[in-house]
Structure 1
Amino acid sequence: MRKRYANLARIRTLDPERDWLEIYQTMLRLEFPWDMKLGLNLAFNRSFSIPAIAAVHTATGELTERTQKRIDDTGLLMYEMVLNGFDQPRGREALRRVNQIHRPHDIPNEDYLYVLGCLVVIPTRWLQRYGWRRPCCHEQRATYLFYRELGRRMGITDIPGSYEEFEVWFDAYDAVHLTPNDDAAAIERATRSLLLGRIPRLLAPLGDELVSAMYDVRLREAIQVAAPSWPVRVGLAVALKGRSWLQRWLGKPRAEGLFTNGIATKSYPNGYEIGQLGPVHPTFRWTTPTDDQAS
């Protein structure tokens, strides 16, 4: 049992103000790999559902017409930054690519801030509810600091000063702006396959209801998805709680971190270059940045 908490013991020896990247990497790669990946998927799903943000994505067609590539590109850019940080070459290149992708769009600061809030709050709440253990204060602080740094390097302003403040801001903004809209419904229909792929084959006939059960009431209303039946909602919660119990008492720490052998995706079976990721805007051509060009 002591070994199960070895990573947590090590995390508690670290200083989240200085070691936030190492702590966040440990959460993703060793402690909660399945839950973190699912939590990030749910975070992006929610961020795409705000009417203003959904309208941008349906206008470009990236999520509704080139769904798999867009999903893969988003994940790859995010994981490159987590795995490499913001100061190593690949992390810097991924960050520069993220900024370049967003530059042609006139996106208000509050919408950027909401997306950042989704990435901070939604995976954390999933871990608090269904993780094999709850994230500790160091992990919660490190999550906030990782995304605060990402936000600063994207030029996002007015970032709340702590996880707790960000959570309060997020809930208030979400309550006002996450409203029913056809663009969000179209995106959810296109991207649902990502979550369906995480459901065991034995439960495939219940797949659509199980995915809907992962959404809360407000999100289901925004994306115009019917509420799942109560047996499915209860069954999913029981199964996830049971999984967390088994992991806590019978599981072992991962011997090898997630993505040790690279990140495999359907869109790039033979590997990828960071410059390939994302849409190709006619207003610019990608070139690999030098260290003094990256930001």
Structure 2
Amino acid sequence: MEVIQIPFSLATAVVAIAAYLLTVKFLRYRLAREIEKMPDPTDGPSGMAIYQKIAFWDFPFITQKALEFALFRTYGIPSIAKTLCSTKEMTQRCNRRYDDTSFLLAEILEHFNEPARCGAAMKRMNYIHSLYPINNDDYLYVLTTFICEPGKWIERFGYRSLTTKEKNAIYHVWVHIATEMGIREIPTSYEAMCRFEEQYERTHMRYSEHNAALAESTSALFLSIIPAFLRPIATQVVHALCDQRLRDAMGFSTPVRGYTWSLEVVGWTAKMVARHCMLPRRTPHLQAADKVDENGKYVPKIHAYKPTYKCGYRIEDLGPEHLVGKGPGTVTGKTTKRCLRSASLRQ
């Protein structure tokens, strides 16, 4: 009987691949197992330990994009869109506005256990919001998108679904932040938040010219990192990521059916690849610097789009340029203004 000889190199490759896949299988759910052993969250501090594992270790890219689209979703509410358009920050300086929001949240979420740093970011955010007429229900709606949309995106594109404990952790973290912001009448659970989001959209999400203006400027920001020749396709992908209610509110056309189908195929493929073929992260995905540089500024580790704060920032100077040097805890802001002016010229 003739024995089939398998080339040594092929056998080695098969064994190596099998060993790698077994390693992925063992390590991929390790973080989920760690979270399952943690105490049930009952408030912001106890929820933050779980939240950081979800947002910075297990699903950093999905969480980031989910929060981007959560904000984008709020632009479908005419009262919110009208307020944002009145500032001209989102329509004329969208990149800067995105970075201000992103880094203020990074300072709060990544450095929650550093009271001075987290507190400075909360104080700055509250000061900026205090300058505009925002009603409590609109605040609540934005809060619900930050709580509920990441879970929906992880369900759609993540290698696993969030557990009840993880959803509760997300709820408690954002409720803690909302309480610091003075938001009232907050729904009492994650599920109640999602019901509020759905009901608020049914009642208030409709088309307005302010919505359309914000949709145009924000879509341009999303697409700015895509090569020009691919932007028509990418535009259709952005529209496909929106449900019909949001598309109607933004004035978007319904995408060709093939784009919606392709997005679902890509999402399913990403789930399978991450679940079976990708090792978990070895380091957290963080935006904010660990400490200040020699000029007393935080130089970001990551800019999602064009770098507004290439020279770094002081927390008390984040926000619209005309507010630099104003508000609680600010300094003169001259250096920051100079840096921002040169950044705007580059854009």
Which TM-score band (shorter chain)? over 0.9
Indicate the SS of the match to 1:286: coil
Higher-Rg structure is 2
Asked if 1 retains the 8 angstrom alpha-carbon contact of 2:212 and 2:251, the reply is yes
Q: Deviations over 1:5-35 (max 9, x none)?
A: 1111111111222621011111111000110
Q: Which residue in the other structure is 1:8 paired with?
A: 32
Residue 197 and residue 281 in structure 1: after superposition, are their counterparts in 2 closer, same or farther (change >3 A)?
closer
- CA–CA distance in structure 2, aligned partners of residues 242 and 284 of structure 1: 48
- CA–CA distance in structure 1, aligned partners of residues 179 and 277 of structure 2: 41
Asked if 2 retains the 8 angstrom alpha-carbon contact of 1:30 and 1:254, the reply is yes
Verify: 1:222 aligned to 2:259, yes or no: no
1:121 maps to amino acid: C
Indicate the SS of the match to 2:134: coil
Instruction: Give the TM-score normalised by the residue count of structure 1.
Output: 0.92
Q: Which residue in the other structure is 1:279 paired with?
A: 320
Verify: 1:182 aligned to 2:209, yes or no: yes
Correspondence for 2:125 among 98, 103, 106: 98
2:49 maps to amino acid: E
Residue 80 and residue 284 in structure 1: after superposition, are their counterparts in 2 closer, same or farther (change >3 A)?
closer
User: What stretches of structure 2 of length at least 5 have no aligned partner?
Assistant: 1-24, 290-299, 331-347
- CA–CA distance in structure 1, aligned partners of residues 30 and 323 of structure 2: 50
- CA–CA distance in structure 1, aligned partners of residues 205 and 232 of structure 2: 29
> Where do residues 79-118 of structure 1 align in structure 2 (5 Å cutoff)?
79-85=106-112, 88-118=115-145
> How many residue pairs are counted as aligned between the two chains?
289
- CA–CA distance in structure 2, aligned partners of residues 169 and 261 of structure 1: 32
Correspondence for 2:151 among 124, 146, 153: 124
Indicate the SS of the match to 2:182: coil
In the TM superposition, what is the alpha-carbon distance from 1:142 to its structure 2 partner? 0.5
Q: Which residue in the other structure is 2:292 paired with?
A: none
Residue 194 and residue 286 in structure 1: after superposition, are their counterparts in 2 closer, same or farther (change >3 A)?
same
Of residues 31-40 and 117-126 in structure 1, the stretch that sits farther from structure 2 once superposed is 117-126
1:110 maps to amino acid: D
Correspondence for 1:239 among 236, 245, 266: 266
- CA–CA distance in structure 2, aligned partners of residues 209 and 112 of structure 1: 30
Of residues 37-46 and 195-204 in structure 1, the stretch that sits farther from structure 2 once superposed is 195-204
User: What stretches of structure 1 of length at least 5 have no aligned partner?
Assistant: 290-295
Verify: 1:17 aligned to 2:58, yes or no: no
Indicate the SS of the match to 1:132: coil
Asked if 1 retains the 8 angstrom alpha-carbon contact of 2:104 and 2:121, the reply is yes
Correspondence for 2:276 among 249, 255, 259: 249
Asked if 1 retains the 8 angstrom alpha-carbon contact of 2:94 and 2:221, the reply is no
Larger relative contact order (CA 8 Å, sep ≥ 6): 1
Residue 86 and residue 43 in structure 1: after superposition, are their counterparts in 2 closer, same or farther (change >3 A)?
farther
In the TM superposition, what is the alpha-carbon distance from 1:47 to its structure 2 partner? 1.3
* CA RMSD, Structure 1 to Structure 2 (Å): 2.1
In the TM superposition, what is the alpha-carbon distance from 1:261 to its structure 2 partner? 7.3
In the TM superposition, what is the alpha-carbon distance from 1:37 to its structure 2 partner? 0.3
In the TM superposition, what is the alpha-carbon distance from 1:281 to its structure 2 partner? 5.7
Indicate the SS of the match to 2:28: helix
Asked if 2 retains the 8 angstrom alpha-carbon contact of 1:86 and 1:92, the reply is no
Q: Which residue in the other structure is 1:293 paired with?
A: none
In the TM superposition, what is the alpha-carbon distance from 1:196 to its structure 2 partner? 2.4
Verify: 1:269 aligned to 2:310, yes or no: yes
- CA–CA distance in structure 2, aligned partners of residues 269 and 96 of structure 1: 23
Residue 261 and residue 172 in structure 1: after superposition, are their counterparts in 2 closer, same or farther (change >3 A)?
closer
Verify: 1:48 aligned to 2:75, yes or no: yes
Instruction: Give the TM-score normalised by the residue count of structure 2.
Output: 0.79
- CA–CA distance in structure 2, aligned partners of residues 106 and 287 of structure 1: 19
Q: Deviations over 1:241-278 (max 9, x none)?
A: 10111001111110010027733231011221112211
Asked if 2 retains the 8 angstrom alpha-carbon contact of 1:50 and 1:184, the reply is yes
Indicate the SS of the match to 2:185: coil
Residue 94 and residue 31 in structure 1: after superposition, are their counterparts in 2 closer, same or farther (change >3 A)?
same
Residue 250 and residue 203 in structure 1: after superposition, are their counterparts in 2 closer, same or farther (change >3 A)?
farther
Asked if 1 retains the 8 angstrom alpha-carbon contact of 2:156 and 2:267, the reply is no
Indicate the SS of the match to 1:248: helix
Q: Deviations over 1:218-259 (max 9, x none)?
A: 110001010110001100111111011100111111001002
The list of structure 1 runs, each at least 4 consecutive aligned residues, that deviate by more than 4 angstroms after superposition, is 197-205, 280-284
Correspondence for 1:75 among 87, 98, 102: 102
